[in-house]
Amino acid sequence: MRQVAALLRAEAADLRAIAEGRGVQGRYADALRDGARELDVRLRETAERYERVQGGLTHWAGELDGFQAEAGRILHAARAEEAGNAGDVDSLAAHRRALARVTAQRDARAAHFADRIRDQIDDEIKDSWWDRCKDAIDEYQSVISFVVDVMGWVATGIAIAAITMTPAGWVAGLAVWLTFGVLAGHLLLASSADGSWADVAMDLFGLLTMKVGTVALTNLRGVRDATKLAAELAAEERAAETSARETRSLRDRTSAVVNRRASTRAERGRARHLRNIARAASVRAGHAASAAEAAVPLPEASRWEAAVVGGDRETANLHKDVQRLRAAYPESPEVQRASLGAEGHKGVFQGTWIVATAVDGVDKGAGTSDLFPWKTSYGPYGHFKNRYVREVGSRW
């Protein structure tokens, strides 16, 4: 402890020289002086802690030597009496009482110095649960960094594979959980100053783009459902109108019979019956057309159509169906109005995927990798990320 305190004092003296400006020039000098001045104070405070503890232990060591010497004299006297057969029961009891007194005095002084040392280290340099946690993170930093890098590359691989093939649901879910795992790992590393907060920011940005993309997909699904409902009503209306046109001459004739004064009751009854049949046929035609439209499944987007939106076939299929419904019912203002916003939601989904992929690609390409240590990296990019290395809870 004395040697550590001396080393800290020497380092503090060097920092004090920097803080006083000796040999320091340039635009960085003011910031360097301020940082050196603060660190000088912290190092001297730490040195004082070591010196206080060393002083307490030194005094306790001296007293402990005295107690041990006294206990040794008692033991020596007892053995001498035993060897000369001069000892009796009362003499042995007296030696035991003397040893008990020395032991009690030793324990009392030990407690005194223990309390004194605790008081002396109760300063602003605190050892907290976070310090212990940080020590554990520092110890396993290489393992954590490697696991995080593996999870990041696996998630990127899944995203790349999704461009050309639609992964199973559990695979897509795995990519999301891997992203959360990468964020948790980067948080641990950044909090203990073993990683950059820039990595945490990029992970949060990636999760944000996922959320925005999910909202855009939900909105596109809502637009398609509204357009589909409007199309079913438009199909019903179109079929009913077509059937009505086809039976117009029949309805005109039956109406003339019903309205003619010379028609008999039987003729009017047959005419009304035929007219009701024609109307019912129009209603049935409308219902059949609506049901037929409702039964039309989502169209299957091509591989390229899915690829341009990040490989998400549902997004491509929904947008393609909206386009089909627009083309199928151009005369329906309800269909055209319900389909508004489809391109915007698709564009948001596509844009978030492009931006997230670009950010991840730049980070993977320009950054270093624990999984692929032989990979080339771009030095200034690493320097940029190192600017955001800050330990959480540090008093220094």
Task: State the DSSP code for 340.
Answer: T
pLDDT at 395 over 50: no
Residue 191 lies in a domain: yes
Residue 156 lies in a domain: yes
- Give tens-digit pLDDT for 212-248: 999 999 999 999 999 999 999 999 999 988 888 888 8
Same domain as 148, residue 98: no
- Give tens-digit pLDDT for 147-183: 999 999 999 998 888 877 766 667 778 888 999 999 9
Number of domains in the chain: 2
Residue 196 lies in a domain: yes
Q: Which two tokens stand for residue 151?
A: 């999870």
- Residue 306 region by backbone torsions, left for phi larger than 0, else alpha for psi between -120 and 50, else beta: alpha
Same domain as 214, residue 86: no
Among 94, 120, 146, the domain-final residue is 120
Whole-number Cα distances in Å, 123 to 119, 127, 209, 359: 8, 10, 46, 45
Which of 185, 133, 139 has its CA nearest to residue 393? 133
pTM for the full predicted model: 0.64
Whole-number Cα distances in Å, 323 to 148, 231, 333: 42, 12, 14
Whole-number Cα distances in Å, 177 to 162, 171, 287, 312: 16, 10, 46, 18
Residue 34 lies in a domain: yes
Same domain as 144, residue 226: yes
Which of 57, 53, 63 has its CA nearest to residue 107? 63
Q: Which two tokens stand for residue 321?
A: 């169906």
Same domain as 90, residue 177: no
Residue 48 lies in a domain: yes
Residue 319: domain span: 134-230+304-396
Residue 286 lies in a domain: no
Among 120, 145, 164, the domain-final residue is 120
Residue 126 lies in a domain: no
Q: Are 239 and 286 in contact (CB under 8 A)?
A: yes
- Give tens-digit pLDDT for 88-122: 778 888 889 999 999 999 999 999 999 888 887 76
Instruction: Supply the pLDDT for residue 387.
Output: 86
Residue 240 lies in a domain: no
Q: Are 370 and 146 in contact (CB under 8 A)?
A: yes
